[in-house]
Amino acid sequence: MKRKNIVTIGGGTGSFVLLSGLKKYPVNLTAIVSMADDGGSTGRLRDELGVLPPGDVRQCLVALSESSVEMRALMNYRFENGGLKGHSFGNIFISALEKVGGSFIKGIEEVGKILNIRGEVIPVSEEDMRLIVKLKNGKILQGETQLDHNKEIRRIGIKKIYLKKKVKACKKALERIKKADIIVIGPGDPHGSILPNFLVDGIKEAIRKSKARVIYNCNLTNRKGQTDNFDLDNHVEIIEKYLGRNRINYVTYNTQNPPVNILKKYKKQEGKGVWVRFSEQSKKKRSYKVIKAKLLSAGLVRCPKADMIAKIRPLIRHDSNRLAKLIMKIVKV
């Protein structure tokens, strides 16, 4: 049987989790990664060196890697002291290769060879991509990092996001979308990891024209000011608002409840309605099929002390193997 071409679209830890599971199957994998990140180690490198954001790309490369445990650990290692405190070795390495070779994509390809990755990682754009957040009161905030750290967002809420200036899609990204059999969106924060990809000129148009089936992995939790009290259908609506109506064919949904103590922490941080719910009766007609399964990871997320944005990382995530297994069932339909 001919191998299926699977293209994933997202960023952050969501893409890492997804790719870690999918790489175990006999498919052709391409990860298209958002270039809007400007926080933590990545943000410092962007501002100080003028490079493209390496953080999300690094996570995808490590997820697809079949090299030694030590090599993967090296790419994720964060310095705890000195001038490099908070920086990931992998971020610095990718940025250095971009400077040496004069190309971000060539740098990614070289790291891919070193890590012996199963598939390929492609930035959604090779241009300087800066996110703008417009609040419901009309105030404008600059930078993707605002989503994690700005208290006004939590208090007022987001009206919309857009890019500071128009950027073109990476040619390779468009080619892979065109040839895709399956396009997998998420999991990940909509405003930070997913929607910025659709703001890049050419991406949403390519997905609309593609003959591929589109799968959206619905988030586990909501965020205050961004997806307050959202259920599954609300999450799909915001994705399709930026992507285009009726383009999503399947939506995966986790049926497991989190541990009570973890849910309490989330409620304290994000308010009521933090856990994404789904009801068959909440919407009369859907253009997409909801596939339900137990998708929750059993272990809690533990971040290095030197991680500058550890406090805002999710405590729980999808289980890589369970999510990949469910997606492969859809692929075989």
DSSP 228-244: TT-BHHHHHHHHHHHH-
pLDDT interval class at 284 (50, 70, 90): confident
Residues 42-51, mean pLDDT to the nearest whole number:
93
Structure tokens at 53: 């954001």
Q: Give which of 152, 137, 42 is closest to 98, Cα–Cα.
A: 42
What Å distances lie between residue 288 and 8, 15, 19, CA to CA?
Answer: 18, 22, 23
pLDDT interval class at 57 (50, 70, 90): very high
Helix (H), strand (E) at residue 33: strand 28-33
Distance between CA 293 and CA 253 in Å, rounded?
6
pLDDT interval class at 306 (50, 70, 90): very low
Contact of 59 with 15, CB cutoff 8 Å: yes
Q: Tens digit of pLDDT for each residue in 258-274?
A: 888 888 888 888 888 89
What Å distances lie between residue 149 and 7, 56, 138, 310, 312, CA to CA?
Answer: 31, 18, 18, 12, 8
Q: Tens digit of pLDDT for each residue in 204-250?
A: 999 999 999 999 999 999 999 999 999 999 999 999 999 988 999 99
Residues 195-206, mean pLDDT to the nearest whole number:
98
- In the block, residue with structure tokens 């396009």: 183
Distance between CA 6 and CA 214 in Å, rounded?
10
Structure tokens at 240: 């399709």
Residues 6-18, mean pLDDT to the nearest whole number:
96
Distance between CA 11 and CA 123 in Å, rounded?
10
What is the pLDDT at residue 37?
Answer: 94
Q: Tens digit of pLDDT for each residue in 16-43?
A: 999 999 999 999 999 999 999 998 899 9
Residue 309 has pLDDT above 60, yes or no: no
Q: Tens digit of pLDDT for each residue in 153-172?
A: 999 999 999 999 999 999 99
Residue 68 has pLDDT above 70, yes or no: yes
Residues 122-149, mean pLDDT to the nearest whole number:
96
| Cis geometry, peptide bond prior to residue 259 (ω within 30 degrees of 0) | no
Residue 31, SS3 per DSSP: strand
Mention every residue, 6+ apart, whose C-beta is less than 8 A from residue 83: none
Query: Which CATH architecture fits 5-331?
Result: 3-Layer(aba) Sandwich (3.40)
Distance between CA 207 and CA 16 in Å, rounded?
22
- In the block, residue with structure tokens 């550890």: 310
**Can you give the residue ranges of every domain in the chain?**
5-331
Distance between CA 161 and CA 227 in Å, rounded?
13
Contact of 270 with 221, CB cutoff 8 Å: yes
Contact of 184 with 18, CB cutoff 8 Å: yes
Phi and psi at residue 284, in whole multiples of 5°?
Answer: -65, -40
What is the pLDDT at residue 73?
Answer: 94
Distance between CA 206 and CA 162 in Å, rounded?
19
What is the pLDDT at residue 302?
Answer: 55
Higher-confidence residue of 110 and 316: namely 110
Q: What is the model's pTM?
A: 0.93
Distance between CA 94 and CA 260 in Å, rounded?
40
Distance between CA 14 and CA 21 in Å, rounded?
11
Residue 313 has pLDDT above 70, yes or no: no
